[in-house]
Structure 1
Amino acid sequence: MNWIPQTIRILIMLLGGYFSYLLLVWFPILQGGPQGSVTNLVYLVVAGVLIGYVISKRIELTLARWVEQWVALLVNLQPKRVMAATVGAILSLLVSVLLNNLLSNAPFYHWGFSLLTTAVLAIFFIFFSLKNSDFFGSFVANTTAPKTTRIPNPKILDTNVIIDGRIIELLQSQFLEGTLVVPLFVLRELQFLADHADPSKRARGKRGLEVLEQLHSITTLKVLDWNDDNIKTVDDKLVKLAQELHAKLISNDYNLGRVAKLQDVDVLNLNALATAIKARYNAGDIIQVSITKDGQQAGQGVAYLEDGTMVVVEDGAAFKGQLRNVVVLSNIQTNVGRMIFARTETN
């Protein structure tokens, strides 16, 4: 939007010239008589324009940033919500006119009362219209926005998270609830990759289709025939669909996640989840534990961390009841929790 700073600069320069003209109107002494009035007017207007140019250099970037934010907000507004708000404003004004005509002869009537009733009615009707935007938005003619259906607790899958495949283990662990939604344009993208001449892309596409088959066999998977011809990229379509369905987007694309969050779309990132639940201690880390009992194998000692994680210490039985530094050898995740295998630190 490079045109915004230039437009702001021109407006500020015009305002500077206009205020210079007002100085002649407010202070006739500056006109300098009939012969010099035109000359002084030209000089003052030019000076005002130049002052506006100097000032605009300092404030145009800040103003341009605000204008760009408002333009982005207006561009992303849904036509049906704009129409719904417009219908609500019209209804509030019509009811306000009727109500004020009825009350105009009342002894307590005042113009301030008219403004108050109009404001209250506007707030009520606009809020009511926005809440029922699906109905009031139908007044928009020739809309190309795609129709969406009600889906309980929808989770939209991105192409990369399907190819990744970890979504299967996440579902089997029952940590993910709701209905998985695969837009038809994502399915077509996977099909395009599966038919690609490049072997690596063809392998990725085939893996994605295999993952979808497994997902379909273990959970509710809905392929949604949704598209918006006004949106070109797959990422933008995913964000738009998530807004329409009030759904969460499952994606490993970091930049897509940032863009989606800026548009108030919740994003579930499997990479972020894996980072959050990764082992606290890795091989080679040194931790201090209190060995409390013997292990199952001869010479082993057992200790527990504050969170209850069991630490099996080789040759730790000799230090039972003592606080020792141990070196982590490995981590094992079991059905009942995580176990750490370690050995006592040698000096």
Structure 2
Amino acid sequence: MLALRLTLMVCGLVLGYSGGQILATSTPPETAALNTVSLMLAGALTALLLAPRAERFALGRAAALTRWYSGLAPTTVAAATFGLIVALLLGVLLTGVLRGLPFYSWPISVGLTAVLAAFFMTYAVRNADAFVALSFPQVRRKPGGKILDSNVIIDGRIVALARLGFLDGDLIVPAFILRELQTLADQSDAQKRTRGKRGLGVLEELRALRPLRIEDWDDPHLPTTDDKLIRLARETGAKILTNDSNLARVAKLHGLDILSIHEAAVALRPPLQAGDSLTITITKSGQQQGQGVGYLEDGTMVVVEDGLRLRNKPARVTVVNNVQTNVGRMIFAKLDKDQAASA
């Protein structure tokens, strides 16, 4: 921000010089030059002292402007531009008509054009959907479409929903999601490679069940996959089908429609109560010493007290507590008495 500091100091010098010239009219000539130099130095030093505060303010305004700009959909910009063009053309035509009136003046023309611009730009932005085909021919608006993210594809439960007929409309897979799955499938890490291959396999199953459309769309200026999904959903009017709770929250803040498989599973699953028994496989250790962690078929985490000794083995457990967290449901359990005795 050196340029900002230098600019402020120059402004301080200019203001000090102007003040010195004003005082020179009422002071003796021998002191006018000294006063001018003193005021210029005071102005420059004042600007230097205020520079940090000005930098923080400028950085905050720049960040806010960047967030606002990045949140603008291209369709909104296109619609606003179209409305401005219509307003300017009408302003020119009406100016030609009003020029013959005796009370005409150029401020009237400017004011009329501003009113027309405000009206037509607002109207066009509110009806931005009508400009999608004109501004973005590569994006085709199809009502009822559902955009799939990588998490919901890898999860695999979408296949059962499609098989049962719960998914209507187009199923849309963006090209950048397909590339993400391919990249995972080519990873050297075995876990990531398995996830990527599973996702590609799920897409093959979906294609066999119902039409699947690959949307050849991408925006290299957006940093994350979630940002791209939100932008594509805003441009196409499609819903996002996901089980990522963070993506769902951000998308809802943008006013988008979200279909969360995880939330649907939670809503439809009979809640486990304290005292219920179930059988799970302990797959890893928990945060506390001796805790074991397993997962239900829907991905719900089950934390088992003293369950680590049965790692990679089926274990009969009794539910102690059922907690709903921001990332999903967690079940706390303990080993059945018979299971604990045999272990």
State the TM-score bracket (shorter-chain normalisation).
Answer: 0.5 to 0.7
2:42 — aligned with what?
Answer: 47
**What secondary structure, in the 3-state scheme, does the structure 1 residue paired with 2:213 have?**
strand
Amino acid at match of 2:195: R
1:70 — aligned with what?
Answer: 65
Q: Give 2:197's match in structure 1, choosing from 206, 217, 224.
A: 206
Q: 2: distance between equivalents of 1:270 and 1:281?
A: 19
Contact 1:84 1:136 in 2 (8 A): no
* 1:187-213 C-alpha deviation (Å, 9 max, x unpaired): 233234334443323322232123223
Amino acid at match of 2:43: G
1:157 — aligned with what?
Answer: 148
1:250 corresponds to 2:241: yes
Amino acid at match of 1:23: G
1:295 — aligned with what?
Answer: none
1:190 corresponds to 2:181: yes
Corresponding residue pairs, total: 278
**What secondary structure, in the 3-state scheme, does the structure 2 residue paired with 1:283 have?**
coil
**What secondary structure, in the 3-state scheme, does the structure 1 residue paired with 2:172 have?**
strand
Q: 2: distance between equivalents of 1:64 and 1:8?
A: 11
TM-score (norm 1): 0.62
Contact 2:73 2:234 in 1 (8 A): no
Q: 2: distance between equivalents of 1:72 and 1:95?
A: 33
- How many percent identity over aligned positions? 42
Q: 2: distance between equivalents of 1:191 and 1:197?
A: 12
- 1:87/1:119 Cα in 2 relative to 1: closer, same or farther (>3 Å)? same
* 1:57-84 C-alpha deviation (Å, 9 max, x unpaired): 3454344222211133335545675465
1:325 — aligned with what?
Answer: none
**What secondary structure, in the 3-state scheme, does the structure 1 residue paired with 2:197 have?**
helix
2:286 — aligned with what?
Answer: none
1:89 — aligned with what?
Answer: 84
Structural RMSD (CA): 4.1
Structure 2 unaligned segments of length 5 or more: list them.
Answer: 277-318, 323-343
Amino acid at match of 2:61: W
Contact 1:12 1:52 in 2 (8 A): yes
Q: 1: distance between equivalents of 2:137 and 2:220?
A: 9
1:226 corresponds to 2:222: no
- 1:10/1:203 Cα in 2 relative to 1: closer, same or farther (>3 Å)? same
Indicate the structure (1 or 2) with the bigger Cα radius of gyration. Answer: 1
- 1:188/1:59 Cα in 2 relative to 1: closer, same or farther (>3 Å)? closer
- 1:284/1:122 Cα in 2 relative to 1: closer, same or farther (>3 Å)? same
Q: CA deviation at 1:174?
A: 5.7
Q: 2: distance between equivalents of 1:96 and 1:260?
A: 39
Q: Give 1:20's match in structure 2, choosing from 10, 13, 16.
A: 16
Q: 1: distance between equivalents of 2:249 and 2:51?
A: 32
Contact 1:146 1:227 in 2 (8 A): no
TM-score (norm 2): 0.62
Q: CA deviation at 1:26?
A: 4.7
1:282 — aligned with what?
Answer: 273
* 1:1-28 C-alpha deviation (Å, 9 max, x unpaired): xx5xx66555544444444344335544
Structure 1 unaligned segments of length 5 or more: list them.
Answer: 138-144, 286-327, 332-347
Q: CA deviation at 1:136?
A: 6.8
* 1:87-111 C-alpha deviation (Å, 9 max, x unpaired): 5435533432442342234355466
Amino acid at match of 1:44: L
